[in-house]
Amino acid sequence: MNDHKVMSSVLDVDKIRSEFPALTRTVHGKPLIYLDNGATTQKPLQMIERVRKFDAEEYGTVRRGAYKVSEYSTQLYEEARQKVADFFGAGSKSEIIFTSGTTQAINLVAYSFGKQFVKAGDEIIISNIEHHANTVPWQVLCEERGAHLKVIPVNDEGELILEEYDKLLSNKTRIVAVNHVSNALGTVNPVKEIARRAHSVGARILVDGAQSSSHMKVDVQDLDCDFYTFSGHKMYGPSGVGGLFGKMELLEQMPPYVTGGDMIMQVTLEKTTYARPPARFEAGTPPITQVIGLGASIDYMNGIGMDNIAEYEHQLLEYGTKCLEKIDGLRLIGTAKDKAAILSFYLDCVHPHDIVTCLDQDGIAVRGGHHCAQPTMIRFGVPATARASMSFYNKTEELDALAESIRRTIKIFS
């Protein structure tokens, strides 16, 4: 295919790639083609250098010291919180809670919101295409509280069937938990409309933003979601940090998830009173360096522009889809009209784990397995898929190489 020059006009991809040291690696003597961005993203020099400078020259504890070093670290930490709030369109930085990532953020809501608002006989709604991190916490909550879990089905393209969602909603619905983008299929869910319908029956909504946060502009106030979760390592930031946006009116009513230092107002041997959010949900010493790094990664993405990122990645998706559709015996899993840059596929003659191994020999990194979404695999009648997930630093030439490597793999196993 010869669309390389047209696509390159959206972003200066060669310049962008030069800012990611890991992309210069070779694997089995071949240049690395990194197509596992749905699992984690590579890191830009801007973020790497910011973390190095902070650890080497500026590091100190936060919110605990009246001396200059601690005060400056606290200032940087809170500036990063403001960057996150601005990035997601939150009304206040106090609505941003730092966690270890999306998984902990969802568990925080399931525990704290569930403890405060969910009782026996209530109902919780998820979809059939959720990551296990947005399935298991709700199952546990239902078991503990005597609530019932309802599931929104999907059609053969991987789109939520909203008519069926409407049938599940009732005055017993307490919270709806859905992903913004399916990690296994790439489906972009209409979360603004899902939120509107949830609110119409008095329910709340949590949106799992792990797969959307670095690929499209997110405005939590426009979406009118009650909770939104994200992971730093999928946003070109450090591992071990992520967070939760929550509407303050809800956070103030929710009990703490983890207890300890710095989340209290006063402790006596008889009673403890808790700090207001976000401190109430950030017990102990937080991941200070990682938060600073997350702020730097947000600066980097803002420098490119989220609309530019979304446009370029959509072009990559269209190009890659055409490449894979031409391969005999390849079945794309997830063909929604509104998709992020994820290509999940299945070959009748080759197990996904073997596909991954063969592609690795050509220097191509993709993921194979159920992608922590076993109910999704069951719905589509496959044990697993291979998944190529793209970023703005990928090129069309890499997708050509992916298609050619898949063809070689088919020949090996045929």
Of 151, 199, 156, 200, the closest CA to residue 178 belongs to 151
Beta bridge partners of 98: 243
Sign of the alpha-carbon dihedral angle for 33, 129, 160, 114 = negative
Q: Provide the 3-class DSSP secondary structure of residue 145.
A: helix
Q: HSE of 174 in the Cβ direction (CA atoms, 13 Å)?
A: 23
| The amino acid at 67 | Y
Burial class (CB in 10 A: 0-12, 13-18, 19+), 262: middle
How close are the terminal C-alpha atoms of the chain, in Å? 26
| The amino acid at 304 | I
Match 């929104």 to its residue by tokens. Answer: 152
Catalytic amino acids? 372
Cα(312)–Cα(139) distance, integer angstroms: 38
Q: Provide the 3-class DSSP secondary structure of residue 155.
A: coil
Q: HSE of 377 in the Cβ direction (CA atoms, 13 Å)?
A: 18
Q: HSE of 340 in the Cβ direction (CA atoms, 13 Å)?
A: 31
DSSP code per residue over 3-72: -HHHHHTTS-HHHHHHT-GGGG-EETTEE-EE-BTTT-----HHHHHHHHHIIIII---SSS-SSHHHHH
DSSP type of residue 272: E
Cα(169)–Cα(392) distance, integer angstroms: 38
Q: Give 357's contacts (C-beta < 8 A, 6+ positions apart).
A: none
